[in-house]
Amino acid sequence: MCGIWALFGSDECLSVQCLSAMKIAHRGPDAFRFENVNGFTNCCFGFHRLAVVDQLYGMQPIRVKKFPYLWLCYNGEIYNFKQLQKQFGFEYQTLVDGEVILHLYNRGGIEQTASMLDGVFAFILLDTANRKVFLARDTYGVRPLFKVLTDDGFLGVCSEAKGLINLKHSTSLCSKVEPFLPGHYEVLDLKPSGKVASVELVKFHSCKDEPLHVTCDTVEALPSGFDLETVKSNIRILFENAVRKRLMAHRRIGCLLSGGLDSSLVAAVLLKLMKEININYPLQTFAIGMENSPDLLAARKVAAHIGSEHHEVILNTEEGIQAIEDVIFSLETYDITTIRASIGMYLVSKYIRKKTDSVVIFSGEGSDELTQGYIYFHKAPSPEEAAEESERLLKELYLFDVLRADRTTAAHGLELRVPFLDHRFTSYYLSLPAELRIPKNGIEKYLLRLAFEDSNLLPKEILWRPKEAFSDGIASVKKSWFSILQDYIDQQVDDLLLEKAAERYPFNPPKTKESYYYRQIFEKHYPGRSSWLPHYWMPRWVKATDPSARTLKHYKSATQE
């Protein structure tokens, strides 16, 4: 996990512009480099490093003797760099996994490069010999990337939007900072002036398609067919493989553990594999919640079962409320459910950074979208519509859960790893018949639970524990976190302000005091940037006015069982 930043064709003094690069310093607390491009005095790269692999040669932009005309700035992890080296005979000059991007590009161009990378990534690749700039981002947008391109060819690229919004430019043209789309690459021509012109934006991978890099995966062809035993076995094999490949790190590995199915499965498989490869330190797991909250109790049970070194962070209401503004600044969104869920994750990440030496943090993001874990999936009119909704949620992850997971951990210099969003695992799960993937017997994620039922990885009551929204699970059973937030915000926002909300904020107008409060803070830091959120996250097929699971009729908390 790092922070990348680059400018092409800047009219302003670069020493002034580079102050913007410091806005993302939290993403790479270990080192910083600012480098001009030879022959292009108005082009430069900025890089904030979190050293996870190759402590000696890991600084960026990466340049190697073999390709002196290539400059690479990337944020991510490429899990198959050794397999690609073996398959194509690449001669690496560093231990940095991202070096493979240079070799792939030299061998087969940008399309093959993006398609053959098994991992999470956002990168800027400059080819001065052919005067091209390439941008690319992984399938689900696990690693963030923003860009701004003016009509006269000034390009700014950054891991977070906050590194671009204060850039200076001579023209008064509207410069729209926007997220770079996941699963895409863009080709831009680099002019002698250092300015650029976009040539094409190409989608190189869809979540349903089996990735090209499957040809050099450590797991070979799986048995075909949809009989239940085959499917269950394939799910276990691919999920375990997803966790195994993510063990690549020279820093200590930890795991978020809410006590729900997803994080518990990740933690259990992770600890099992760490033992197998003789990692000689205990796995630290981390839970956050109010005293005796459902998540804390469940996480305690899982940690005892798997034998992790477990840490509990007790959330107090005042601390949570005080963190709201910092969280919104980090997130760059005003989405209600994203903010609610981010507060706990932000505070547990803060604890990990201050109190432990774990840096590479595993988490369960992506499972709810992939395996139909949200409670509203019980209301899906048909298996086919449920499958369509699952794909829609996966495509929008970069706006919601993946955004939350990246920003809350990156704010504290941690690197997130999300095995449920492994390309091969997701494409296989989405290839299964729609009927197999829907909730069954009133239980969401039924197939995933069934696949691990006989594994003894988790206690049965955890494997079959009903869904808790993260923002609800961290609260006491008596009062949910979102209702505690609402009580506080009711005192902060006047009724009259809410009545005129649509006039003040015509795009995505706030409908509640809570959403108004968040929007105010967002607009304070990012005025006029409301289009970064196309729409609020809300459940489908139900008449919901609030995104919290606790407002849905199907919801069953521990106190009701």
Residues tagged active-site? 2
Cis peptide before 61 (omega within 30 of 0): yes
How many Cβ atoms from other residues are within 10 Å of residue 41's Cβ? 11
- Would the annotation count 97 as a binding residue? yes
Closest Cα to residue 513, out of 545, 479, 556, 467? 545
- Would the annotation count 364 as a binding residue? yes
Token pair recorded at residue 238: 């691919």
Closest Cα to residue 502, out of 491, 512, 493, 494? 512
Alpha carbons 422 and 352: distance in angstroms, whole number: 25
Cα–Cα distances in angstroms (integers) from residue 523 to residues 332, 517, 520, 546, in the given order: 10, 10, 5, 22
- Is the CB of residue 155 less than 8 Å from the CB of residue 434? no
- Would the annotation count 227 as a binding residue? no
Phi and psi at residue 121, in whole multiples of 5°? -165, 150
- Is the CB of residue 62 less than 8 Å from the CB of residue 95? no
Strands 67-78 and 119-127: antiparallel
- Would the annotation count 256 as a binding residue? yes
Cα–Cα distances in angstroms (integers) from residue 555 to residues 240, 286, 376, in the given order: 30, 25, 9
- Would the annotation count 483 as a binding residue? no
- Is the CB of residue 157 less than 8 Å from the CB of residue 149? no
Q: What is the DSSP string of 136-188?
A: EE-TT--S--EEEE-TTS-EEEESSGGGTTT---SS------EEPPTTEEEEE
The residue type found at 430 is L
Residue ranges in 307-400 assigned as alpha helix (H) = 317-322, 324-331, 336-355, 367-370, 383-395
The residue type found at 32 is F
Output the known binding site for L-glutamine: 97
Output the known binding site: 97, 256, 288, 363-364
Output the known binding site for ATP: 256, 288, 363-364
